[in-house]
Amino acid sequence: MNQRTELTRRELLETAAVASGTIACGVPGLAGEPEAKAGLPQVKPEELGIDPKRLQVAYDLMEKWTTGKDAPVPGGAILVGRNGKAVTPKFFGRQGPEADAGPIRRDAMFYMASVTKPIIYMGGMLLVERGLLNLNDTVTRYIPEFTGGNKEEMQVLHLFTHTSGLPDELPNNAELRRQQAPLKKFVESSIKAELLFRPGTKFSYQSTGTILVAEIIQRLSGKSIREFVQHEIIEPLGLKSTGLGSQGFAAERLVRTTVPEYQKDQKGDWNSTYWREFGSPAGGLFSTPEDYAVICALMLNGGKLGGVRLLSPATVRMMTSNRMDDLPDLPESVRRTQPWGLGWRLNHLGTPDSWSDLLDRRVFGHTGSAGNVVWMDPQTQGFCIVLTNYLRARAPWRLVHLSNAIAAAFE
């Protein structure tokens, strides 16, 4: 067993605090707002080479969009950082989409939606490091019943790069939510799902592929995916306000998000107790800007933060570089304009999915349908976290405008 897993959580927190020059403090109570928060040291933007006047442009945009009862964005938060430090996050608007919702809390926990996925893939890479999982193996080696319709050709790598041919959502997704089905039922349906194309020949974003990666993790580790993420990622990094599922956190801290039309009048919408506690591997993480900033700093620092080595530098390099070039049957135009790492997406320049006109294709991160975008720039060592509750599909350009303003602030 390595040193990281032998150390207690307290020891890891103390080590990280000493290394950063801060003392990490816990959240004192479920109902109250925290007196102090664990996470990265917080400094003024100019200390990080971030122009405060240019950063204010992004703050002003968010303030404008979240002001008034008819505001297009109910609420949100912006946090930027660099070199293992962060600017104090700014919070805007309301805790929920309701017109009478109260002001957003300073300890608000956001529904991360698909920004969950990189955490699950990170868990998969931990198993790669330990010699338990090979990305070039077929999925059937780990899930023997995954057969039929070209499924035997699918490599684990295809699940990590969204080139598997699996559908994004399951055909019976809505019905499973109405039934308040457990994760096991979603896994069973994902295993039975028909492919849209031969693995490795096209790109098509697939939440079902992330569910299968979570199942592989469960089978190899002998732990539930929630337990694995908690013990292997959340606890070692000292993340006190992050969880795959909302269990153990005060309901009043959870930001209520705008739900898509197809979820209205359903028992399983994003704001339901069932879905919040479900902890879907494809989109069930709750977190704060301060906590997710730790993930960003970890990735930009080669997998190590403070005294905690979570990932090897080799793992981080592979996760954050374009792995589409490894797929011989993938069209050149896809490899060039829609690059993906292993679980992390790279900026898609020249496409509607681009995060910013000012970020190059080496920038990696992820977006979430609940109105979130997180990106990290290896060149500047800077990162951006924008979390909202406005439903990204209604106006994806809002996140791009914010990203443009934030990217322009880095000197």
Chain centre distance of CA 196? 25
Report DSSP state, residue 240.
T
CA distance 199 to 342: 16
Q: How far is CA 266 from CA 101, 275, 276, 392, in A?
A: 21, 11, 14, 20
| Mean pLDDT (whole number) for 369-386 | 97
Confidence of residue 28 (pLDDT cuts 50, 70, 90): very low
- CATH number belonging to domain 50-409: 3.40.710.10
Averaged pLDDT of the chain: 91
Q: 26 falls in which pLDDT band (50, 70, 90)?
A: very low
pLDDT cut 70: percent of the chain above it: 90
Listing DSSP states for 3-32 in one string gives HHHHS-HHHHHHHHHHHHT--------SSS
Q: Which residues contact 133 (CB under 8 A, 6 or more apart)?
A: 124, 127, 142, 156, 216, 220
The pair phi, psi for residue 336, each rounded to 5°, is -85, -40
Asked if residues 295 and 84 have their Cβ atoms less than 8 Å apart, the reply is no
Domain limits, the chain: 50-409
Given a cut of 60, whether residue 6 has pLDDT beyond it is no
**The predicted structure's pLDDT at residue 263:** 79
pLDDT at position 261 is 78
Q: Using CA atoms, how far apart are residues 3 and 35, in angstroms rounded to an integer?
A: 31
Average pLDDT over residues 82-89: 98
The first and second tokens of residue 112, run together, are 């991360």
What pLDDT does residue 38 have? 63
Is pLDDT larger for residue 383 or for residue 353?
383
